Amino acid sequence: MIFDFDGLILDTETPEFIAWQEAYSALGASLDRQTWAQVIGTLESGWDPWTYLEEQVGHPVDRGPIRAVRQTRHLALIDAEVARPGVRAWLDQARDLGLRVGLASSSSAEWVTTYLKRLGILDRFSAIATGDRVPHSKPDPAVYRLALSELGVGAADAIAVEDSPNGIAAAKAAGLVVVAVPNAMTADLDLSAADLVLESLADRSIPGVVRETTS
């Protein structure tokens, strides 16, 4: 099993959007969810929230103070989050089934490991592949290929668990079966490229998912 991190294990995506939305609002600008959705799961969308903000207000902004307030707010909101439903149960099942567990994230290793430690689940992962270790982030498949290599398994023997179109595209390009579990930010995005879409990991067991995706 190879898990995404942001938005899948811990919902860091909604807090980030809210923090940006509040920063825009403070300057009389607006940021809608559909515009923001293009950056979810990737560092290479080509869309820049600062440029978009300055286009709306019609002039350059003093980014330093805005960044400081936004980052403080973002981290405070994340601190109120807990692991998403079913995550711990799936990690327990994977352990009991003898499955190797990896993580494939576009975020940095420092970011991912900080929150895995906070959740007390860092030791559940045999491989942690992150965006700062590959030349391109999702939807490029490089981070999944790295996770597969470090787990010592082929794509045909692994299932990816994702929450966004960019993540699904990366996992499919690497040859994996993909289970999508959207969060509040991705629930109305097109996740049809996944092999199975669940409202929550708590809705299925790992053996149940394996049966549904390999039958």
Among candidate residues 4, 11, 163, 195, the one labeled active-site is 4
Cα–Cα distance, 101 to 79 (Å, whole number)? 25
pLDDT at 203 over 90: yes
* Nearest of 202, 181, 125 to residue 8 by alpha carbon: 181
Characterise 93 by phi-psi region: left (phi > 0), alpha (psi -120 to 50), beta (else).
alpha
- Specify the pLDDT at position 37: 85
pLDDT digits (tens, 9 = 90+) for 48-107: 999 999 999 999 999 999 999 999 999 999 999 999 999 999 999 999 999 999 999 999
Whether the per-residue pLDDT at 42 is higher than 90: the answer is no
Total residue length of the chain: 215
Q: What is the CATH number of domain 2-10+83-214?
A: 3.40.50.1000
195 is catalytic: no
Residue 62 annotated in active site = no
| Domain assignments of the chain as residue spans, ordered by start | 2-10+83-214, 13-79
Q: Quick one: pLDDT at residue 106?
A: 94
pLDDT(45) > 80? no
Which residues have CB under 8 Å from 88's CB, separation 6+? 121
pLDDT at 44 exceeding the cut of 80: no
Which amino acid belongs to residue 95? R
**In this structure, are residues 134 and 140 in contact, taking their beta carbons and an 8 Å threshold?**
yes
- Residue 26, pLDDT > 80, answer yes
pLDDT value at residue 214: 82
Q: Is the pLDDT of residue 110 over 90?
A: yes
Q: Which of 6, 11, 140, 195 is catalytic?
A: 6
Residue 209 has pLDDT above 90, yes or no: yes
